[in-house]
A and B are shown apart, each in its own frame.
Chain A
């Protein structure tokens, strides 16, 4: 496994860089944030992404996708992350596409994958039930009754949940909260009256929802993967998601860092450029090192995913930990080094800080993944 991009991946990255710079500079996000009625992503921009084939990067060619792999979608998210581009690409093009491609029945694949590729539907994955990520702590119940399952419970902080057409829901078909057995994944279409979707207002102004299910009836053929085997499937889906979101976080951090370095080269105080101050130079150099480690970790994780590495779990936790810590550091230092302008709403930098703290929580914080890394490593 080489820790470099191949030509295809480099091409996708270049295309995404141009797209983000030209079509979705940070002002695009700002205008969505300022529009109270928006779903916090823009349908026209999403359809442009769809036309570029991004919704089908993880989907096999027979269903209309390009099958360019996790590295392919990750470098796109990295570039989109640089301009804080909001879109359903992560929840749909990564999570939904990967989940259904890998665990779906032929019928499910035929039904949903072409619609994901064409941009006809978006998806969201509903896992957590408390403010801390922990799939095993699933309480939501799915009880078998007369050949159908009855779903009851509440999911929180569902990424892109406020707009999704399809939910992939983790529920407990047996056992108790904390057990790693007895979990099952269901595909639930968002067209039933007893599903209540509540849009959340989070610090990063992106699309999230809490979703309540009361006596929602799900047919057996809507199980994703095998009944009672949802625990393993969800870890795989989450790991792919963790890797892809780590790439986006790397992009966030790279942009905040670049902005900071540029500021150090133009801002004058005491008659000199503040970039001449060693107190700032050394902190900038330390951030550079952390960013290099992050690039390597994300690269290894995304290439490992495409190589079917048996280290996938460890690499995913490595990437999410390092990306989280680096983005945390860089988002704080960027604000401090920019001085007062960094804490004004008019300046874009604050968006990166707010996005950082939210995305750090998605599918497990650095603390969660540090412990998971230790568990997997046998200490």
Chain B
């Protein structure tokens, strides 16, 4: 048996004895489902969610390619493929959703000091610390580099003052990675630093923002004379913009992948919705106008999925083309929701009350939520700027 065959056997056996039944396909449908984000404040409706996270975290398999000295799985590409195949085979639930894994860990591996990697990566991988992202500010949206939250040198520490906005789940997070202005006199891109801040530090506070969907996944985050140890600076002083951009590429890749693969927003199938609400004849959606629009949409979805696959096969690292995936993935997701609610007619815009199914009401809110997809992580227009300048080399 080859080494890889052995590895597959080990993985199978380990999963067999360590993946709780309720975390696999075929679990009792009445088992409560947790969206596991980890962290100090985590609560679990199903205790198995915690067990599954702890076991996967201990193996380092929530970040299988990270070296084991930082708590990762230390696996090579082939082994990761096998692990994913075996997880897929038993229909295992994702043990951990994490901005730490998707965004921070990749830049810590590239830019962090040895101490920072040893301190933070294992806690990210085990889901012990939940991270949030402090980028946007009230006056700095698409023009992120104009940010004003300042960090002053006061000896051993930085003194941080200012406000962040659109901080996803700041009220539930333990730490925040933030962009701060450390060089007020430098040109705007050259005075920014990348700082890690414990949310329990005195002077940090958060306030949820209610969205048009009625939900509050985002917060405002305030820093009022917050003292942050200098050892929490990632990379060099005033050299945070390069790190910020690297992280944005990971974020964009994640948003586009997540948007398509896991059906960001509603996972409902547009074809069954259309058949149910518009009727079908001989297996075809009865209304030809909707049918042709849905077909065009499905064709684009197919082609986009193949493009993600091709990027993987080409071994593409996160690069400027991440902007294309972010742009296309989010615009496509918005369109998908628009088509779904249109196909549902007035049921597609149900808001509340017993006259409507929960799933219809949820779809209305998902539809509204998707409007943020093409704003967060850089608007679609910013992505178009990035593509035209960095990919096509058009002049400024």
Contact = CB atoms under 8 A, between A and B. Distances in A.
Contacts of A297: 302-303, 306
Contact of A295 (B285, B295, B310, B394): B310
A281 interface: yes
Nearest to A299: B310
B324 interface: yes
B391 interface: yes
Nearest to B275: A379
Q: Binding site of B, secondary structure by majority: helix, strand, loop or mixed?
A: helix
A265 B391 CA distance: 13
Interface residues of B, number: 41
Contact of B306 (A282, A296, A373, A374): A296
A250 to B, nearest CB: 12
B310 A370 contact: no
Given A289-B328, A296-B307, A281 B313 contact: no
Nearest to A280: B394
B179 to A, nearest CB: 25
A379 B291 contact: yes
Interface residues of A, number: 37
5 contacts: A3-B309, A284-B388, A370-B295, A374-B295, A377-B295
Contacts of B298: 373-374, 377
Interface string B124-147: 000000000000000000000000
A329 B302 CA distance: 19
A371 B306 CA distance: 20
A284 B299 contact: no
Given A3-B310, A293-B303, A379-B284, A285 B395 contact: no
Contacts of A299: 306, 310
B271 A379 contact: yes
Nearest to A281: B388
A293 B299 CA distance: 10
A276 B314 CA distance: 31
A370 B299 contact: yes
A275 B387 contact: no
A280 B388 CA distance: 9
B359 interface: no
A322 B303 contact: yes
Contacts of A379: 271, 274-275, 280, 283-285, 291, 294-295
A282 B295 contact: no
Given A2-B313, A379-B271, A318 B302 contact: yes
A273 B283 contact: no
Interface string B354-376: 00000000000000000000000
Nearest to A369: B299
Nearest to B285: A379
Contacts of B280: 379
A170 B285 CA distance: 32
Contacts of B299: 318, 321-322, 370, 373
B340 to A, nearest CB: 14
